[in-house]
Amino acid sequence: MKILLASDHAGFELKNKIKEYLETEGFTLEDMGAHVLIPDDNYPEIMIPVAMRILHDPENYTAIIFGKSGNGEAMICNRLPGIRAAVYHGKNLEIIRLAREHNDANVLSIGAGFVEFEEAREAVRLWISTPFGKEPRHIKRIEMLDNIE
């Protein structure tokens, strides 16, 4: 599984720190931007290619994305059927476990304005290590989400 990383200006610093951490842990990564700090960049331009990559090969890609709150980044990704982005603002890692086990979330959006590096590292560690639970009731709900017309 390749992990895609992306951020706007507000998540840029945290994304780069998490990237360093994941590289030292030996994960396969692709940094999809921003590659330089541009204070007035637009997160949809950065996040849409990330979501599209997952849509085209969901078995081989997942993503961790960063913004000030993480909300807008998740919202744009969630507009695409098949993308299930969960937002983490800090304090309660149970949110991440539930997003993976129950919702098979394939994008983790971290609110860099609310989460320090150490907490983000723990969140990412949990995100990567938590599998989808595959309970029939959760599979049914995910199918309903992914097949909205």
Residues with active-site annotation: 73, 102
Look at the block and give the residue holding tokens 């309970």: 135
Contact status, residue 68 vs residue 74, Cβ threshold 8 Å: no
Give whole-number Cα distances, 88 to 71, 125, 148, in Å. Answer: 9, 13, 25
**Backbone φ and ψ of 3, nearest 5°:** -100, 120
What is the Cα–Cα distance from 39 to 17, expressed in whole angstroms?
Answer: 18
Give whole-number Cα distances, 53 to 61, 82, 90, 107, 141, in Å. Answer: 7, 11, 27, 12, 23
Sign of CA dihedral 108, 92, 95, 72: negative
